[in-house]
Chains A and B, each alone.
Chain A
Amino acid sequence: MKGSLIILSFFATGILLGIFHLFPQGVLTYDISFYVLCALMFSVGISIGNDPASLRQFRHLNPRLVFLPLMTMAGTWLGVIVVSFFLKNSSITDCLAVGSGFGYYSLSGILITQCKGVELGTIALLSNIMREVMTLLFAPWMVRYFGPLAPVSAGGATTMDTTFPIIVRTSGKEYAIVSIYHGFIMDFSVPFLVTFFCSL
């Protein structure tokens, strides 16, 4: 929990500095976060490659884990359908489109803004940022109560980049391959699913 609070405080500090423009403009224009992400992935790679036990476990991957992306989609859709009954302004298909961002906020936000307008687009952006942040913050709790696959499903399309390090830390290095496989399939599905639900 302490670790999550530290992460949240870094996020909150970033928001505050962003609101008051208390940072050099170059930080965002030069896409520094991409390079940090690359450095992070390189470091995660070192930690995997440096541990012979984790490499051995890749070969013993359970074949049933190929169904994990389907579970992620079904679970997400069920969840947002339930919520859509309580929302007056958004239809079921609106909610399904937002949910089908699976944490890929940049792309789903842009796609939904184009198809359904800026309001639902903003909801999609915020909702999918929140999904990513929730995964980052509550991954340890998810593992404890729902097993090591839970943060992978929660991470959605982000499990091969932004939430990947936290999954490896909480679920264990032996879930690194599942996480990348899952992220790859989800990433690929987002544009198709979002435009499909927008067109309904």
Chain B
Amino acid sequence: MFIVIACMLAGILVGYLLRQRRIRFIHRIILTLIWLLLFLLGLEVGSNETVIRQFGSLGFEAFLLAFAGTLGSVLFAGLLWLVIRNKSVSE
């Protein structure tokens, strides 16, 4: 995990050193790498036979938990955002 963070810090340094010229194509590269990563995640899920076999029966329960958990955290994050925004407006 720390290697991943180190990669980003190295990137920030490289980007900062090259700040005289704008590297516009970097956003295309980021998007392409996101696609590749999702494709690889799919490969991992698809080639795991236990997960694929159980996908239907356990999948629905998993989906409900994922959906409710995500929705709950999104709502609470929205609340915090409202508080922060109102405070910074009134200050």
Instruction: Say whether B80 contacts A99, CB under 8 Å.
Output: no
Instruction: Say whether B77 contacts A146, CB under 8 Å.
Output: yes
In the complex, the chain A residue whose C-beta lies closest to that of B3 is A38
Specify the main secondary structure of chain A where it touches its partner: helix
Instruction: Say whether A49 contacts B13, CB under 8 Å.
Output: yes
The one of B58, B65, B87 in contact with A119, judged by C-beta atoms closer than 8 angstroms, is B58
Q: How large is the interface on B (under 10, 10 to 19, 20 to 34, 35 or more residues)?
A: 35 or more
From A19, A42, A87, A98, name the one whose CB has the most chain B CB atoms within 10 angstroms. Answer: A42
Whether A49 contacts B80 in the complex (CB less than 8 A), given A11-B38, A41-B8, A78-B72, comes out as no
Interface size counted on chain A using CB atoms at 8 A = 98
Distance in Å: Cβ of B82 to nearest Cβ of chain A: 8
User: Bound complex: CA of A131 vs CA of B70, how far in Å?
Assistant: 7
Instruction: Say whether A82 contacts B68, CB under 8 Å.
Output: yes
Whether A64 contacts B12 in the complex (CB less than 8 A), given A10-B39, A161-B4, comes out as no
Instruction: Say whether A64 contacts B43, CB under 8 Å.
Output: no
Whether A80 contacts B41 in the complex (CB less than 8 A), given A45-B15, A52-B19, comes out as no
Residues of B within 8 A of A (CB): 1, 3-5, 7-19, 22-23, 26-27, 29-31, 33-48, 50-52, 54-55, 58-59, 61-85, 87-88
